[in-house]
Structure 1
Amino acid sequence: MSVFAAAVDLLFADTNIGRDAVYTATGGAPVLLRVVARRADAIADFGDARLWSETTRIDLRVTEVPAPRPGDRIEIDDDAFLIQGEPVRDRERLVWTVDLRPA
């Protein structure tokens, strides 16, 4: 295991950073895993206007979810979300970042 992989595992295991969630691939069985939630606001330019929107992004470990796809379901606490758009992996290929929308 690389130093980076060990650091990622520690971050996801930290109770202040990582959270329990349930991942269900389309047509698959639910899987309990840890996620790191990012609920940042996004600002997009559209012509001369700037649009603000609330976003929900999470990080998933590649070891737990090797191939997330749009439409897969994530449940965090009592909130259910669907993955939208294509997931993006980090440079080390250890973490997926996915955009979510309410289910």
Structure 2
Amino acid sequence: MNAVAIALDALFADDNIGRDAVYTAEGGAPVLVRVVTRRADDTTGFGDARIWSETTRLDLRVAEVTNPRPGDRIEIDGEAFLIQGEPVRDRDRLIWTVDLRPA
């Protein structure tokens, strides 16, 4: 295991950063995973206009979720979300970042 993977595992394990969640692939069985949430606002340009939207993103470890897809479900503290759009992997191919919408 390389140093980056070890550091990421420590971040996900930290209760101040990582959280427990239940991941369910469309048509699959629920699996307990650790996630790092990002609830940042997003500003998108559309012509001369700038559109603000509240976003919910989170990071998943590739070791726990090998192929997240749009429509897969993630539940955090009783709140359910669906993955929307294509998940993006980090440069080291260890983390998926996914955009979520309420289920």
- TM superposition score category, shorter chain reference: over 0.9
Measure how far apart 1:78 and its partner are: 1.5
TM-score for the superposition, normalised by structure 2: 0.99
Q: Deviations over 1:33-60 (max 9, x none)?
A: 1000000000001111110000000000
Identify the residue that residue 54 of structure 1 maps to in structure 2: 54
The two structures have a TM-score, normalised by structure 1, of: 0.99
Equivalent in the alignment of 1:71? 71
Q: Sequence identity, in percent?
A: 78
Alignment of 1:64-103 (within 5 A): 64-103=64-103
RMSD of equivalent CA atoms: 0.4
Letter in 1 for 2:96: W
What CA deviation, in whole Å up to 9, does each residue of 1:16-42 have, x standing for no partner?
A: 000000000011000001000000000
Alignment of 1:1-80 (within 5 A): 1-80=1-80
CA distance in 1, matches of 2:46, 2:32: 39
Letter in 1 for 2:14: D
Unpaired stretches in structure 1, ≥5 consecutive residues? none
Number of equivalent positions: 103
Unaligned 5+ segments in structure 2 are none
CA distance in 2, matches of 1:2, 1:81: 32
User: Which amino acid counterpart does residue 56 of structure 1 have in structure 2?
Assistant: T
Cα distance between partner residues in 2 of 1:5 and 1:36: 15
Secondary structure of the 2:64 match is coil
Amino acid at match of 1:19: R
